[in-house]
Amino acid sequence: MSKPLILVSNDDGITSSGIRKLIELMSTLGEVVVVAPDKPQSGMGHAITVGDTLRLVKSDLFGDILAYECSGTPADCIKLAKREVLKDRKVDLVVSGINHGSNTSISVLYSGTMSAAIEGAIEGGPAIGFSLCDFSADADFSHVDEYVLKITRNVLEHGLPTGIALNVNFPPKQNENLKGIKICRQANARWEEEFDKRIDPHGRNYYWMVGNFINHDKGEDNDEWAISDNYVSVVPCQFDLTGYHAIATLNEQWDI
């Protein structure tokens, strides 16, 4: 049986240690091709490049592994990989990450890591975004190997339901071992920003956005709960945003 073709991307950029870890792990499971941003693209959400050009440049960062750095967003990377780099081949799996920082709960919307995975799912194949809930550039990834492999093997074996990408988050490295994997829903939480207003050397105002994460969710079946209890969280994410329950409500209430 031929080895699966695994496309790797991320949003922290091609030089981050998280993508190196992911490439190393995926190489044990299949043939790896990398198309990743040439600079950090955190917080890019599902942005694509529509009014500007894109660059795609071969990279020798990973030895024999075919790799390209791309000037665009994570979603651009997946599109360019599928239509240009791998246009005559079938990609068996798209993986993104390992992100330096949490993408639990509402952060899935802002996440470049997850936009690459969701773009993979839109194209019709299985896709996984991996994130470590530790923002530091030199984060310790040593505890995640076993779980990245276990989750990826399950996805390669069983596929994923149509229209679903996985949002996988790992707790930061702690003294005790991870407790296991929990399949979760997205926690009902949000970012409540403050703006740090400053004055530049030319006397003009500017702002830094500072996020405070507010968790409203008391449930024990969501990703925030799983991470806080030292479990790996896996949330199946869909890109059909329709709130089906609201269709009947609007039809009843509205005078149209």
Amino acid at 41: Q
Residue 35 burial by Cβ neighbours in a 10 Å radius (0-12, 13-18, 19+):
buried
Selected binder of its own copies within 66, 156, 164, 178 (CB under 8 A):
164
Q: Which of 136, 207, 219, 220 lies at the binding interface for its own copies (CB under 8 A)?
A: 207
Least distance from its own copies to the Cβ atom of residue 57, Å: 8
| Residue selected from 13, 24, 27, 56 as contacting its own copies according to rule CB under 8 A | 56
Does the footprint of its own copies cover residue 206 (CB under 8 A)? yes
* Angle between helical axes of 145-158 and 17-26 (0-180°, round to 10): 50
Q: How far is the CB of 15 from its own copies (least distance, A)?
A: 15
Least distance in angstroms from the C-beta of 31 to its own copies? 23
Smallest separation, CB 172 to its own copies (Å): 19
> Residues 118, 133, 144, 148: which binds its own copies (CB under 8 A)?
118
1 binds its own copies (CB under 8 A): no
Nearer to its own copies, 89 or 239 (CB): 239
Say how far apart CA 81 and CA 99 lie, in whole Å: 20
**Contact residue for its own copies among 1, 51, 175, 218 (CB under 8 A):** 51
Please state, in angstroms and rounded to a whole number, the distance separating the CA atoms of residues 119 and 96. 11
Told to check if 212 binds its own copies by CB under 8 A, we report: no
Phi and psi, residue 225, nearest 5°: -65, -45
- The DSSP secondary structure of 130-148, one letter per residue, reads EEES---TT---TTTHHHH
- Measured between alpha carbons, how far is 166 from 183 in angstroms, rounded to an integer? 10
11 is in an annotated binding site: yes
- Using CA atoms, how far apart are residues 232 and 145, in angstroms rounded to an integer? 12
Binding site as annotated, residues for a divalent metal cation:
11-12, 42, 99
